[in-house]
Structure 1
Amino acid sequence: MKRRSVLTLAAGASAALLVPSGAGAAPDGGPVGPLADADRRLLLRYAADTWRSMTAMVDPGTGLVADNIEADLAAATRSRYTSPTNVGCLIWSAISARELGVISRGEARRYIRTALDTLSRLERHPYSGMFYNWYDPADGRLLRSWPIDGSPVYPFLSSVDNAWLAAALMVVGNDDPALAASAGRILAEMDFGFYYDANARGADFGAGLMRGGFWPERPPNGGVEDNYRGRGPNVWYTGHHYGTLHSETRIISYVAIALGQVPREHYFAMWRTFEPNCDWSWQEMKPVGEYVEHLGIRVFEGAYRHRGRQYVPTWGGSMFEALMPDLLVPEARWAPDSWGRNHPVFVRGQIDHGLHEAGYGHWGFSPSSNPAGGYREYGVDPMGLDTDGYTSDQERTRVNLGFDGCRPADPLPTSYGDGVVTPHAVFLALPYAPDEAVDQLARLRADFDCYGPGGFHDAVAVRSGTVAHRHLALDQGMVLGALGNLLAGDTLRRRFATGRTAERLRPLLGIEEFAVPAGN
């Protein structure tokens, strides 16, 4: 996993969660209408090509998928590092590819079984069962020096990376009885309570937050020494918690609550927006909303207003933050008055920004490869909480809408620079704007040299035409996950959102009503 949205703030898993979902289960996800036959065929072609890039990243000996590969798919260009998130993406991508008819059941099983066998042998933190953040995909060795430049790597255990892997294990356990036991054994050792700081918002608040992760050895920056489970020696936690709900990091909360490892009240300890007073005037704009109580937790149900829309923002205004958890959790269906309202308006806001506000002629903004080299976060600035958050162009054109009574606004930008769009953001939008998404993907292919044997390349700077000619396992995993859900009856959501997971999460998500008017 790449950089996350973070905010610095002053019981074991059970194989019983892995129950067959039934081949005839009804779709249980977001609203999408019928697709034209030609569009369906085109999307299936995208899926087949995207799967080709995913398999090109897989080491044949270990079954581990590399973090990235160049667009020519040459094995020599596979990165020499991988993460738990990348492995999770491979697992659910294999299921999606099988359900879409791209590969056979036996081929999917071979990919997943090899990865599971290697996972079972990887070095882990013995007291939490968590995986480290970086391994060598060629031999599964824990990395202590970075393959690119030899700089030291201080072994770290990321909460969100482990959550994506755990979610994938839950999916595969509900998918294939031949693999359920292997997935269940790995999952049963993973305890997300190791990350849960019950006092993050004060001892009397009623619920806490998840840390970003921990080091088992003291890192150079010191960290926060503690041990929330009291098992084994102390560890050194990150200085931040994941304090905002509308972020890709909410997958940690979903998994931990589903596994019974943190209280369900934790869901309401996270901010929707921050409070509408000058103590919080560093946020992007002054929110509207009101205070309510859910499960004994006082929650400010805040939202932003911009260009005629009202929405709950993410940290940086990116599609990845907003919609990656929606690949697995049927948020729009389970929470029609919160996520069911917010997801469509968030997608419309991204489309409006790209086509009208910034005038790029293209849309789809999310962390991705930087066409100029490396990796960078991109988003729609007014749709994020952080005033210094993600921007949609290379020049970092920002918007300051002010905070009434506390901070003056700046004039709106008169122009934007070289906007950077990423195809995975468009695929994530498919359930909520299918016609616009299919059109945008076609225009990207027509306007830029951004498609090859492995599908769409990772990002395009649309004014200069510069393309990031590589594939990321994370981003290709989002593409295949989105296509599997859209074209194969919510294949991932049905396999994640079942059994005890549904019993624990569905009523919880259904409690809330965001400060987002229906259909705005």
Structure 2
Amino acid sequence: MPDHDLLRRWAADTWRSFEAMTDPVSGLPTDSIGVSLDPDTRSGYTSPTNIGGLLWCTVAARDLGFVDPEVCRDGLGRLLATLHRMEVHGESGMFYNWYDDRTGALMHRMPDGGTIHPFLSSVDNGWLAAGLMVVAAAEPALADEVHAVLDRMDFGVFHDAAAGDEGPGGRLSGGFWVVDPGADTRPVSFVDGKAPVFHTRHHYDLLDSEPRIASYVGIAHGQVPPEHYASLETPLRHYRGRDVVPTFGGSMFEALMPTIFVPEAEWAPDTWGVNQARTVALQREYAMDEKAYGYWGFSPSACPGDGYSVFGVPPIAWEADGYPSERDGEVVVTPHASAMALMVEPDEAADNLARIESDLGAYGPGGFIDSVDTLTGRHAGRHLSLDQSMVLGALANVLADDCLRRWFCTPEVEAVLRPVVAARTMPLT
């Protein structure tokens, strides 16, 4: 197993980035911050996913002994109080995509002046709900405040029962606008008695993709039928002598982020267990053996220098070309991909992360920098709240006996989800 002290140092430094990203008044996390952790480098906005990540990472920090339990409760209470005040879609209780990280006000323009058409994302709300479920179980004193937010969230608003070709389970919409954004939308309501909204034309069809967190939350709360999970598509890719059920773009985020909360490989060792082991191994072999990059771990991230882009391993992607591993002549690895791989290949992932830190220098006072070019060592210069939440979430599970999985999968949740996950077949050979 990897060196325990090394993993704890990475986890403690990652938590330091969250302390710097969190507004002391609103309790909300910013979307990103510079590697210096200077408050002036905060992005000025946040999202439901970022908020969910801070919720579960605060519990993780408590379980790892980085924060006192009373300090943990105070921080969570401050954040929950802000959530209560934030504007949501009244009929579903869902949160919009962007809010001011200092006040919690709904944003209609980005800090750079760009116009925002407020959107409600199924997957982003799934991550927020996951964080709320963790806090409700981990901090019983705050359970009432959590449920005042969580219980009004109805994931049925995203569930299109008529979509899909694999049976009666339906599909989740990408999300919706309340006001027509002037794009190609589908004005419809998926819940009887609720007003139509402007849904995206696309649905989430693949099983092995990050939107399954919204599926898990919806099924656990009786808002989405279990048949939905059973009917999601599991196509195959064959690479380096093995079949693998692909993600859309071939990225680690799509494959592994939901397993921070749901022990899929334990509940379904012959399906999820096999597929997650192959996904990680093939990411590593693609980079180390086929491409000789020297480092591995591909997932959407901040780009070295500036911007944000998608990265992955094309041979294990369902999309025709997949997400690229190279961009503009740079080979871009992101530490959060290898951090999540600690839950699958702990020794190999820890070695990769240690070399990213020591050889490439992609590390600062707040832990791993979001991405780095393996050829030149040029890095992104910032931390993304989303990606840091994956790093700390995975480290907490490895160091603290699957703490986030235990908090999310209460006996009541496990009783609903485990049979659904265990019964799911995959055409692996």
Match of 2:159 in 1: 196
Decide whether the 8 Å contact of 1:481 with 1:492 is kept in 2: yes
Provide the C-alpha distance between the structure 2 equivalents of 1:305 and 1:77, rounded to a whole number of angstroms.
44
In structure 2, relative to structure 1, the CA distance for the partners of 1:372 and 1:74 (3 Å cut) is: closer
- Map 1:327-346 → 2, pairs under 5 A: 327-346=260-279
String of CA shifts for 1:129-165, please: whole Å, max 9, x gaps: 10111000111110011112x1211111000000111
Are 2:89 and 1:177 aligned? Answer: no
Match of 1:237 in 2: 199
Provide the C-alpha distance between the structure 2 equivalents of 1:362 and 1:471, rounded to a whole number of angstroms.
20
Match of 2:150 in 1: 187
Instruction: Indicate which of 43, 46, 50 corresponds to 1:82.
Output: 46
Match of 2:411 in 1: 499
Match of 1:488 in 2: 400
Which contiguous aligned blocks of 4+ residues in structure 1 show a shift greater than 3 angstroms? none
String of CA shifts for 1:57-85, please: whole Å, max 9, x gaps: 11111000000000000001101110000
Instruction: Indicate which of 369, 375, 382 corresponds to 1:470.
Output: 382
Instruction: Indicate which of 415, 422, 426 corresponds to 1:510.
Output: 422
Structure 1: runs of 5+ lacking an equivalent? 1-34, 274-302, 396-416
Instruction: Indicate which of 280, 283, 293 corresponds to 1:347.
Output: 280
String of CA shifts for 1:169-194, please: whole Å, max 9, x gaps: 11111111111111111111000000
Match for 2:116: what amino acid?
A: V
In structure 2, relative to structure 1, the CA distance for the partners of 1:438 and 1:212 (3 Å cut) is: same
Instruction: Indicate which of 158, 177, 182 corresponds to 1:220.
Output: 182
String of CA shifts for 1:192-230, please: whole Å, max 9, x gaps: 00011111126x942210000000001110411011113
Match of 1:139 in 2: 103
What is the SS of the residue equivalent to 2:372? strand
Match of 1:255 in 2: 217
Are 2:335 and 1:423 aligned? Answer: yes
TM-score, length-normalised on structure 2?
0.98
Cα RMSD for the two superposed structures: 1.3
Provide the C-alpha distance between the structure 2 equivalents of 1:154 and 1:508, rounded to a whole number of angstroms.
36
- Map 1:269-280 → 2, pairs under 5 A: 269-273=231-235
- Map 1:125-164 → 2, pairs under 5 A: 125-148=89-112, 150-164=113-127
Match of 2:17 in 1: 53
Decide whether the 8 Å contact of 1:365 with 1:425 is kept in 2: yes
Answer 1 or 2: higher relative contact order, Cα 8 Å, separation at least 6: 1
What is the SS of the residue equivalent to 1:420? strand
Instruction: Indicate which of 394, 402, 414 corresponds to 2:327.
Output: 394
TM-score, length-normalised on structure 1?
0.81
Structure 2: runs of 5+ lacking an equivalent? none
Provide the C-alpha distance between the structure 2 equivalents of 1:222 and 1:311, rounded to a whole number of angstroms.
34
Decide whether the 8 Å contact of 1:337 with 1:510 is kept in 2: no
Quote how far apart the aligned CAs of 1:232 are: 4.0
How many residues were matched structurally?
429
Provide the C-alpha distance between the structure 2 equivalents of 1:361 and 1:418, rounded to a whole number of angstroms.
13
String of CA shifts for 1:265-297, please: whole Å, max 9, x gaps: 001221111xxxxxxxxxxxxxxxxxxxxxxxx
Match for 2:413: what amino acid?
A: T
The higher radius of gyration belongs to 1
Provide the C-alpha distance between the structure 2 equivalents of 1:104 and 1:180, rounded to a whole number of angstroms.
19
Match for 1:481: what amino acid?
A: G
- Map 1:347-366 → 2, pairs under 5 A: 347-366=280-299
% same residue: 49
Decide whether the 8 Å contact of 1:347 with 1:433 is kept in 2: yes
Match of 1:279 in 2: none
Decide whether the 8 Å contact of 1:222 with 1:236 is kept in 2: no
Match of 2:71 in 1: 107
What is the SS of the residue equivalent to 2:198? strand
